[in-house]
Amino acid sequence: MKRIISALCVMALAFSLVAGIGGFGSASASEAGSSILVAYFSATGTTKAIADHAADILGADLYEIVPTVPYTSADLNYGSADSRTSKEQNDPNARPAISGRVADMAQYDTVLLGYPIWWGQAPRIISTFLESYDFSGKTILPFCTSGSSPIGTSDDNLHALAPSAHWLDGRRFAAGTTRATISSWLDANGITAAKPATTAKPTATPKPTATAKPAPTATPRPTATATPKPVVTATPKPIATATPKPIATATPRPAATATPKPEASATPTLAAPTVTIGVASNGIKVTWNAVDGAPRYMVYYRENGGKWTRIGTTTATSYTRKAAQLKNGVTYQFTVRCCTDDKATFLSKYEASNSLRYYAAPTVKISKVSTGIKVTWNAVEGSPRYMVYYKENGGKWTRIGTTTDTTYTRKAAQLKNGVTYQFTVRCCTSDKKTLLGPYKASNGLKYTK
C-alpha cells in the first residue's frame, strides 16, 4: 500500500512537473527544475550528515530546525521517563519552540524533512515545524536516522500535520550512510538537482550549545510504593500447580549487580513492559504484558530500592521468584526489559513494578499429643497474623482459621483414625483478608486414635 501511495505521489510529482512544462505550473518549476529545501533536525549530528549530503547532491537549500531551548545530554536521556525527550514524546501536544524561520517557504516545491527517531517517532519539534508553514501542494520526502529502528510509522504519523502536502514514503538511514546511497534514494524518488538557489537563504539559526549522546547510565524511574496485591484465597494453591515458567540462566557477567542500561549499541525501540508483582503460594510472581516484537525479556529485581540485579531472560511473560531466594522483611521490586534473542541488546526501556514487602513462609511442625495434633511454627517477623490450613491424605487444603499465636492444636474429635494429616500456615493481614506470603507444608502424620 505504501508503495502504491508512494508511486502515486511520485506520479503526482512527475505530473506536476510535466504540467508546469505545459504552461500550467509555476514559472520556477517550469524553468530549471523544482526548488528544493532540505530541512532537518539533528540532536547529535547523525541526521545532519545525511541532510548535508542530500543538499549537496541536489544543490538544494539547507535549513536546520534549531530548538529555542537546546537539548542537553540530560534531556536526551532515554533511560529516564522524566527526561525532557521522554516527556515530550509522551505528550502528543508537545510543540518545542523553533529558533528562527525558513525565510521564504513559498519558493520551495519540494521539502526533504530529516529527523532522528525518538521512541519510534519523529521528535515533537518536527510537529512544530510542520505546523509553522503552509505545505499545500509541496512534496515532502521524509528521512530519518536511528540506532536500529526502521522509519516505521513515524513518517505516516506526520501526514496529519501537513495534510495538503504530497507525502512521499520516508526512508531510514544508518549513521555514516554513503553519498552514493543517498543519491540513488533521491533518484528513486524522482528528486533531481534543484535550480540554483537565487532567492533568499533560510534564516540562519544558532546551533544548540549543548548537544550530546543520550546518557547511557540512566537509573530506573522510581515507582511509587504500592501495597501488595491482595491475594484473597480460601485455600492455598497446591505448590505443584504453581510451577514457574523456566527462566534461562543469565550469561555470567563481570558485575553481579547492575543498573539495567543499554549495552553495546542498544537503542530503545519497543515499549517497556508493565510489570506487576504479587504474592504466590511459592514466592513472588512477576507478570508483564507481552510486547509486540519482543523476542525475549530480561528480568531484574532489587531489594529495598537498591541496585538492580539481573536474574536471567525468558520468552514467557511471567516469572516466579522462589521463596528460598527471598528474604523476610525485604521490599522487592522487579523490572523487565525487552531484549534480543542473543541477550546482548536491550530493545526497550523499563519500568519498575509495584513494591512488595515480603513475608516468609513459616516452617510448620506437627506432632501427636494426647489432645490431638499440635501444630507449631516460627514467628515471622512483622507478620500481623497467621492463617492455618490442613489437608487429609494429600487432598485439598482446608482453611481452619487465623491466629496471632504460633501454635494451634487440632482436637482429637476433629481428626479421623488412619488419615494422614498435613498442616500449613501463611502470614496474613490483621483483617484476615489478605495473604502476605507463601507457604510450606508440614510433614505428614498418620493419625491413630
379 in Cβ contact with 405 (< 8 Å): no
Minimal distance, residue 329 CB to ligand FMN, in Å: 39
Cβ distance to ligand FMN smaller for residue 321 or 337 = 337
Nearer to ligand FMN, 64 or 109 (CB): 64
Q: Summarize as ranges the residues that interact with ligand FMN (CB under 6 A).
A: 42-48, 76, 78, 85, 116-120, 145-149, 175, 214, 267-269
Nearer to ligand FMN, 147 or 202 (CB): 147
Contacts for 50 with CB less than 8 Å, ≥ 6 apart: 40, 114, 143, 145, 173, 177, 182
Residue 326 φ/ψ, nearest 5 degrees: -115, 150
Rounded to a whole number of angstroms, the minimum distance from the CB of residue 211 to ligand FMN is 8
Name the residue nearer to ligand FMN (CB basis): 342 or 405.
342
* Block residue for cell numbers 521522554: 86
Helical H segments across 22-142, by residue range: 27-32, 46-58, 84-90, 124-131
Whichever of 147 and 437 has its CB closer to ligand FMN, that residue is: 147
CA-to-CA dists, residue 174 to 77, 117, 147, 151, 161, angstroms: 20, 11, 7, 11, 26
Phi-psi category of 119—alpha, beta or left, where left has phi over 0 and alpha has psi -120 to 50?
left
Residue 75 or 109 with smaller CB distance to ligand FMN:
75
| Residue with Cβ nearer ligand FMN (88 or 109) | 88
List the one residue out of 34, 44, 36, 97 whose CA is nearest residue 62. Answer: 36
- Nearest distance from C-beta of residue 349 to ligand FMN, angstroms: 9
Cell of 119: 521512541
- Cα–Cα distances in Å, from 358 out to 105, 280, 311, 375, 427? 63, 11, 18, 23, 10
Residue 118 DSSP code? B
- Our CB check for ligand FMN shows the closer of 175 and 419 to be 175
Sign of the CA dihedral running 99, 100, 105, 108 = negative
**Can you tell me the distance from the alpha carbon of 261 to that of 345, in angstroms, rounded to the nearest whole number?**
10
Closest CA to 375 of 285, 432, 278, 443: 443
